Structure 1
């Protein structure tokens, strides 16, 4: 009896399991949005070639649209010299131009200074030569005059080498009393002294110009120089007043 009851229970359990399995399959088919159980197999969805081409064209369109957008301009730290620093650097010739990054001006600055220094040196050397010759010949001439006085022996040398190098050998006695030769030495002395002093003044001017150039160049470093150089004119009428008559003319303006 008990065996029959066990068989009946087993049959009922099998029937219930079949009914539950069919119900579950019906729910999954009817409702695709239903959450799939954890034990079920999930398959990957592979797009068709048409869908792949459409997605590629969409990506290309987005990239082209991004490229067409205005790109932000990144401003780098542009060099702008400080006029006060340029003035301090310019106290040493050439450093102001180097600070302003105007290297092409260095040959001009140093060339001018070298020329001025050469002129000072050359004129000063000749001035010393003629100055020494003039003062020495005047001293020798005073000795000659003193020897011509009564009670003194005539003076015939030795002569100073500073002025005898300008006269022929053996004719020193005739040149020492030559007033024209003495005046010539004096003129040459004054000539080279004047040009030596002028060279010093020019050197100071070149130094000042190099300082001014460095300062002004730094001050006008970002000055916008427009290439539009034009002249505009228009008629001008001045109305009559109590003190002046009416006048007519042209008004000219230059744009640069």
Structure 2
């Protein structure tokens, strides 16, 4: 007897196949973006992730090796991929390309964090304001962040940590860690992510893509104001500063 998938399982299977294809399609484009970032001095791999191996002089070879071994074990333990997990990765990849090439007049520079910081500290990306050369925010990219509010509330209130990061000091790019970055969350509906992918394919932002950009920007403005209310005093100032930058985009 031939097994036939129930309609709902068939739809889930098709969705998984589509987002896996989207991820594979984005890979060579990320590689091109990584080359640009490396020319700016950022130590990233071909997926635009910050490379811990670039930080051996800062933390020591053994320290970095322990982190890499730790994340290797975590990846083995949680190797099974879910549609939501793959969607989150596709959003993270697409957002990196879109921030750096299409949105906000290219004022924001996005880097994907190392896999260590992604898992250990729950931070997917660092973004920088290209004009002031300051770290603007740590962005947790997920397609459904409102269902995970409890998990990220600590980062919102107390700031997020990034061990392997970059920053600017006296106009020079340096390797550094962060301990109290303001946390922002970017959420997109499936149809919005599709518009972003279409723009990446065309190499330019469309009218529909501009609408997604405005939606994201308005959400960032709202978060900078709302998150500041529950943050510590020092972090409150960081949210306010981020809000000022968002207002100028």
TM-score between both structures, scaled by the size of structure 2: 0.18
The structure showing larger relative contact order (alpha-carbon pairs under 8 Å, at least 6 residues apart) is: 1
Pair member with larger Rg: 1
Structure that is richer in strand per residue: 2
TM-score between both structures, scaled by the size of structure 1: 0.18
